[in-house]
Structure 1
Amino acid sequence: MNEIASPTPAVSPWRRFAVISCIVLSFVGLSVRAFYLQVLAGDFYQEKGKRQQVREVKIPAHRGMLLDRNGTPLAISAPVHAVCVNPREFQASPGQIRQLAKYLGQSSKKLEKNIQRHRNRGFLYLKRQLAPSVAEKIDALDIKGVFLQSEFRRYYPAGEVTAHLLGFTDIDQRGQEGLEKWFDPQLQGIPGLKRVLRDRRARAIEDIDLIRPPRPGKDIHLSLDARLQYWVYRVLKQTVKSHHAKGGSVVMLDARTGEVLALANQPEFNPNARGSLRPARFRNRAIVDVFEPGSTMKPIAIACALKAGVVRPGFRVDTSPGHIRVGRHWVRDHKNEGPLDLAGILHKSSNVGITKVTLRLTPKGFSSCLQGFGFGRMAGVDFPGEAKGVLTDYRGWGQFEQATLAFGYGLSVSALQLARAYTVFADRGRLHSVSLTPRVVDDKVSAVMPATIANLVRTMLEGVVSEAGTARRAQIPGYRVAGKTGTVRKAIPGGYAKDRYLSLFVGMAPASAPRLVLAVIIDEPQGKRYYGGEVAAPAFARIMGAALRLMGIAPDRPAAEDTILVRRGDGEMG
């Protein structure tokens, strides 16, 4: 029996109409939306898309250079790169992470942990001041979210040779120490600003608009002579090492202008090796540290007495029996020097003789004269942390306090102040201000005493450097030298150390018409040789001799006298 197929249910016309209408309406709606997005609102959404990739980026400004007086670069800024990441966009394969970590000098684990810890940030430095060659390798890894930024790194061609004066900057090129800090406002440039188009990795692929060009910092010339600075540094380092000293300082000034031509300290530091910087070594001891100057004060005391008229050039004093009682204290010489004139007091460095001269002065008059030499106030060199030293109020002096000032105890000075004071003897009784920038004339120079007195004392100081004086090892073949030694016991709580000394020599050359003033201070030389004439004077001779020749300054000593020096010298000159 044949089966009868069940009839197919009929679709109602209204349902068919509804379905077709929905399809048509949907198509029309999509068409209208597409027309709106592509035609009517196309420019708006295109601009919005661009804004998501367009960024304003700072253009680093070049920091100004520090140069010596002859234009030799002492501090420059080299272009480098910073490696940056957008943690929210960071995507890298395990192999890419390993390579990136290798170029950054860290472990893969540490790198990933650092990025994960800042996952919610849009920017993170991975490493600053990377060499361009390494930065290019990182860029070639093509890691999403990792990109480079241009920046600068400060570099010091002379390294530790100029470190104490120049100081250094931080990673953002801001001065932190020394002249980098003092001149920071002039050296700092003003960053520029531009709009760039970035790709999916946040790399700048196109400059769109320069909003503001960068303004480079100002180059600054210093009064330093890089050639002299190197030699000063070298001799100081050798002297400190050979005498196993704790440290030392050297200051060289132009006797006619007060310009600082060289200045060095030991121990040193290398500003290019940031990872090994030790803050204790940053201090510019020659400018910020103070000490008691010892016998280098004796010519100043004699000059004050001559100026006040309490002694005359032919004045003589009996230092027998080699000691004198002042109040409740004793002042002693190393031995009984007997009768001495003013020059003899300096040649023999007699404490007894200078005491008898100084006590002829009134405390007020002596104090005023010492202030005239620049003691108790800053030299005005415009250096961070510059010391003013200590010169106590004369109203609190007794006779002993006044006497000890004359042979360099009871006051404190810096190496810079001491060198500056000797410009009075070098330049006809005039005290120069001190400058770290070049100048032809010192418009702040002040007359301290008549030129006749200053010249007379300078002649006496030539005798100190003679065979009969305490500084024969400061002699320089071909040149007349004037100067004074000093050997100072270092102060400790409760008094003075018996085995810790400062060895000093301050002098000038050529003595007939001084061009250079040089102060050498060696801190705690070890062994039996610790006197200024044994330690500091030979260093003075080596530095000054080279400087005079380098600057082409004509000799002023007769050849016959040079022959005597060669025969009697100890081989440590020059």
Structure 2
Amino acid sequence: MTDKSKKWLRFRTGTLLVFFLVLFIALISRAFQLQILSGETLKAKAQRQHTKTLQFQPERGLILDRNGEKLAASIMVDSVCANPSRINNPGKVSLKLSSALGVKKKTIRKRLSKSGNFCWIARRISPAQAGNVSALNIDGIYLIKEPKRFYPNRELAGQLLGFAGLDSTGLEGLELKYDGYLKGEPEKFLWEKDAKGKKIYVERSSTAGKQNESCSLILTIDGRIQYLVESQLKEAVEKTGSKGGIAIVMDPRTGEILAMANVPVFNPNTFSSYPSGTWRNRAITDCFDPGSTFKPFLAAGALEEGVVDEDDQFYCEDGAYVVGNKTIRDVKKHKELSFREILKYSSNIGAVKVSEILGKEKFYQYIRKFKFGSKTGVDLPGESPGILREHENWTKVDMATIAFGQGVSVTAVQLITALSAIANDGVLMKPYI
């Protein structure tokens, strides 16, 4: 071998060694990047590709009246889902499902166009619709059972109960207030795919023990009293031509609410077909001037302070009394009325004169003692505190009008709670459901 050939061989050998060295370094660097720098990210990605977690919500708890009668329950109904990857002709399938379900073909086609192995087509359908879908026998279209909230008494106590949405989440009323108890904690199932993509059940886990499963709710409401109150309220609203009405029945000794009615009513089974304003429990949300029903609280304060006696006489100005720039009038003219008679005949002028003796500071203190101007704390969502201005801002006219229930706004639950205190020997109880 010539010197020239030897040099060429050494050059080739050296070049080959350098090439393999560079390749080795590149492989080591890539391995370091994958195993060390990106290891956790890639591991998580692989985990997502080979495993799937399905979450199931336990059956929602019951809502019962004080006698154990069901006011809200859950029933199992059919829902339609699909595996889009198994649908060979989405257009044709969409047309068939549209006819079976009464849903627009365009809507179904859009849902079937989603990637993945699962999509909802229609939730909580009727038995007739389920029968139509089953008869089609389409590969990749499935019927599965889901719980649906059901209110067996239809409109009864609708605003009080509220309703739950598609995913068993409380949206209004008691369903919202006690959602965490009624809904319970979800249960999770972990599935893993084998090399052929088949699912293998791995484990079942729960985020809670038995003590945190869905709970039932027993109310102070008496369904029979609720029905009678709603019936009478509807009749009164129709008879008077009113737009609506509110009625509450409370045990003054305990604060238990036995009935809470609203008119107009709505059926929580089909809540979406009603205007959203109908869902509101106006017994706790809406404020109004209490009018002459406010006079007993003025009277209670005056008697408690000892500034009047029951038989004290008041001159009621023959039906017209000027305070500041306002003339206060009585429906029926009176000259002399006793303190008792002021309440008996509901004299506005008599009430104003009692308030003048009591004074605005003391009057305000007693109004506050009856919890006007603040929430009662009833266990329902959306309670309003009403409207009561600070007494420092009252004019003479303000105090005069507040004496007969104008210039102050209260809720129905505030009013019945305060009146119940008078019936309960002056003991104010917190209302509860």
- TM-score tier by shorter-chain length is 0.7 to 0.9
Does the 8 Å contact 2:248/2:413 carry over to 1?
yes
* Structure 1 residues 454-505: Cα deviation after superposition (integer angstroms, max 9, x where no partner): xxxxxxxxxxxxxxxxxxxxxxxxxxxxxxxxxxxxxxxxxxxxxxxxxxxx
Greater CA drift, 353-362 or 408-417: 353-362
Give, in angstroms, the shift of residue 98 of structure 1. 5.2
CA pair 322-167 structure 1, distance change in 2 beyond 3 A: same
1:339 maps to: 336
1:71 maps to: 68
Does the 8 Å contact 2:90/2:112 carry over to 1?
no
Does the 8 Å contact 2:311/2:340 carry over to 1?
no
2:106 maps to: 110
1:431 maps to: 428
Does the 8 Å contact 1:355/1:404 carry over to 2?
yes
1:359 maps to: 356
Does the 8 Å contact 2:77/2:148 carry over to 1?
yes
- Whether 2:224 is the aligned partner of 1:227: answer yes
1:417 maps to: 414
**Percentage identity across aligned positions?**
37
TM-score (norm. length: structure 1): 0.61
- Whether 2:139 is the aligned partner of 1:144: answer yes
Alignment of 1:490-569 (within 5 A): none
SS of corresponding position for 1:126: strand
1:257 maps to: 254
Separation in 1, partners of 2:51, 2:78: 21
1:391 maps to: 388
CA RMSD of aligned residues (A): 2.8
* Structure 1 residues 22-56: Cα deviation after superposition (integer angstroms, max 9, x where no partner): xxxxxxxxxxxxxxxxxxxxxxxxxxxxx999965
- Whether 2:157 is the aligned partner of 1:165: answer no
* Structure 1 residues 342-374: Cα deviation after superposition (integer angstroms, max 9, x where no partner): 121112111111111110012111111111111
SS of corresponding position for 1:317: strand
1:174 maps to: 169
SS of corresponding position for 2:233: helix
Greater CA drift, 335-344 or 137-146: 137-146
Does the 8 Å contact 1:60/1:151 carry over to 2?
no
Separation in 2, partners of 1:284, 1:133: 34
Separation in 2, partners of 1:339, 1:115: 79
Match of 1:185 among 177, 180, 185: 180
**Long gaps (5+) in structure 2:** 1-47
Separation in 1, partners of 2:138, 2:88: 7
- Whether 2:204 is the aligned partner of 1:211: answer yes
Separation in 1, partners of 2:224, 2:232: 13
2:392 partner letter:
R
Does the 8 Å contact 2:101/2:132 carry over to 1?
no
SS of corresponding position for 1:70: coil
Separation in 1, partners of 2:135, 2:201: 24
Larger helix percent: 2
RCO (CA 8 Å, sep 6+): is it higher in 1 or 2? 2
2:66 partner letter:
R
* Structure 1 residues 278-329: Cα deviation after superposition (integer angstroms, max 9, x where no partner): 1121111110000110011112111111111110122111213211111222
- Whether 2:270 is the aligned partner of 1:273: answer yes
2:317 partner letter:
S
- Whether 2:299 is the aligned partner of 1:291: answer no
1:6 maps to: none
Give, in angstroms, the shift of residue 96 of structure 1. 6.4
1:322 maps to: 319
Alignment of 1:11-30 (within 5 A): none
2:82 maps to: 85
* Structure 1 residues 54-90: Cα deviation after superposition (integer angstroms, max 9, x where no partner): 9654333111111111111111111123211122221
Separation in 1, partners of 2:189, 2:288: 54
1:211 partner letter:
R
- Whether 2:151 is the aligned partner of 1:156: answer yes
Give, in angstroms, the shift of residue 433 of structure 1. 0.9
TM-score (norm. length: structure 2): 0.80
1:25 maps to: none
1:396 partner letter:
N
* Structure 1 residues 189-243: Cα deviation after superposition (integer angstroms, max 9, x where no partner): 2232346799xxx9x9x99565136964110111111111111111111111122
Separation in 2, partners of 1:404, 1:167: 37
Give, in angstroms, the shift of residue 123 of structure 1. 2.1
**Long gaps (5+) in structure 1:** 1-50, 437-574
1:246 maps to: 243
CA pair 81-116 structure 1, distance change in 2 beyond 3 A: closer
Separation in 1, partners of 2:89, 2:72: 39
Q: Number of aligned pairs?
A: 379
SS of corresponding position for 1:106: coil
